[in-house]
Structure 1
Amino acid sequence: MDSRPVRVLCLHGVGTNSEVLEAQTARLRYLLGDHYEFDFVDGAYPWPAYPSIAKVFGHDHTYYSYCDDSPQSVLQAATDLADYATENGPFDAVMGFSLGAALAMTLLLNHDRLGLSTPPFGCAIFICGILPCDWTALEQGQVELLAPTRVSCPVRIPTVHCWSAEDLDYPGQSQALVSMCTPNGRVELVHHAGHAFPTDSVGVDQLAQAIHTTVRRMRTRDGASALPN
């Protein structure tokens, strides 16, 4: 039996922070159980509170983004994430919400450009994910969203995609993110909370099961024993 804990690196969205993400994932983490360990990483840029975050958590906290609107900051954020994953890993999974998902996808699509021979995560969980930036455009000094048609080699690690058809903040971007990942081992879950973490018990329960199943498959594929039930 594999006794190693499942280590998950957690990345928040824009205008929020790790403390908020911890609160948003409290039920999910409870359902996943003590065999999982979660590492929450704040962005480097203080940022105005996202409107829906401010309504719940107020304006008295410090909120962050992983980058600003400059191409240099996006490239630096991806570099910093690669360094963090290398120095503090290994991580079984990365879980990103919104901008956190985009940052994780940027690293997964360009890990070789950042000096990593293989992806630093065994699987990825994208919640209300938005599109990453086009790396070539960033190197040319421009910030452009990456179109799925420009992805020559999709992400090949197992992925979980939890998104909402009622996401009016970034319509269609989660679905486009799905198409950047290989269908083999890919799981999709649709919730009804818009651009927010799912809150209904059924949705969170399904997400927990999808994560648990994906990690189990990933570890079995990599030659490790299955997780405890």
Structure 2
Amino acid sequence: MTKSRTHEKPRILCLHGFRTSAKILETQIHKWPDSILEKLDLVYLDAPYPSMGQSSVEGIFDPPYFEWFQANQDFTEYENFEECITFIEDFMVKNGPFDGLLGFSQGAVLAAALPGMQAEGLVFTKVPEIKFLILISRAKLGGSKLSAPLLAANAFSSPVKCPSLHVIGENDLVKPDSIALLDSFVDPIIVHHLEDHTIPRLDDQSLEIVNNFIEKIRNLTKT
């Protein structure tokens, strides 16, 4: 765990969106150019629960589809939230160490809350500290639309200090929640794009921002 990793790429666990899959997220991320992806060691994980309803990507991507946890219609009650975090931690113990997390949609909702829960000593006690986050199309547990499961009740009680890259779509339905979540992070780095609830292609300005962020996290993972 403490060995020097000077010559290694930042190792990132990638958490896919609601009722999609690791394979789908990997396909979506490959919209980003090789000049970005070759600098990162990306590991994709399927969520532990098979989809319990229709997926928004049916007819676009092949099944199977998975979900991280479940909630009732008004997001006041959650099921399998603690279990899914235990599932992720067990994977990290067996396949790590990991430096940071990348999440899209439901995966990003989860990833955003994990550093705060880890800082409280409630989760991820068997793995190293999360050093950075890449969050794409996400909302906040305990925000305007999503109440927080008990385990995550204080996840944002203090500003999240680890470096964070936030990818926000101008036409994304969760854009207001993505903007609101920025207040919970110290010095968030932001990529804006014109697409909707998706992983966007990166224009020249976005590429520069992402490259600068990667250089920042590479320096974090050299020791």
TM-score grouping bracket, smaller chain normalisation: 0.7 to 0.9
Which residue number in structure 1 is paired with residue 137 of structure 2?
Answer: 128
Which runs of no fewer than 5 residues in structure 1 stay unpaired?
A: none
Rounded to whole Å, the distance in 2 between the matches of 1:122 and 1:43 is: 22
Which residue number in structure 1 is paired with residue 162 of structure 2?
Answer: 157
Counterpart AA for 2:130: F
Which runs of no fewer than 5 residues in structure 2 stay unpaired?
A: 72-76
Compute the RMSD of aligned alpha carbons. Answer: 3.0
Rounded to whole Å, the distance in 2 between the matches of 1:117 and 1:11 is: 19
SS of 1:95's equivalent in the other structure is strand
Rounded to whole Å, the distance in 2 between the matches of 1:74 and 1:82 is: 13
Call closer, same or farther: CA 1:34–1:129 in 2, change over 3 Å.
same
Counterpart AA for 1:217: K
Please give the residue correspondences for 1:58-207 in structure 2 after superposition, counting only pairs within 5 Å. 60-69=62-71, 71-111=78-118, 112-114=121-123, 116=125, 120-132=129-141, 138-139=149-150, 151-168=156-173, 170-183=174-187, 186-199=188-201, 201-202=202-203, 206-207=205-206
Rounded to whole Å, the distance in 2 between the matches of 1:92 and 1:50 is: 30
Which residue number in structure 2 is paired with residue 212 of structure 1?
Answer: 211
Higher helix share: 1
Rounded to whole Å, the distance in 2 between the matches of 1:206 and 1:18 is: 28
SS of 2:99's equivalent in the other structure is strand
* Alignment deviations for residues 84-136 of structure 1 (CA, whole Å, 9 cap, x no partner): 333322222211001001111222120121253986322110001122258x9
CA deviation after TM superposition for structure 1 residue 209, in Å: 4.0
Counterpart AA for 1:125: I
**Are positions 1:34 and 2:43 aligned together?**
no
Identity %, equivalent residues: 25
TM-score (structure 2 length as normaliser): 0.79
Q: Which runs of 4+ in 1 moved over 3 A?
A: 117-120, 205-212
Counterpart AA for 2:84: A
Rounded to whole Å, the distance in 1 between the matches of 2:205 and 2:54 is: 29
Counterpart AA for 1:42: D
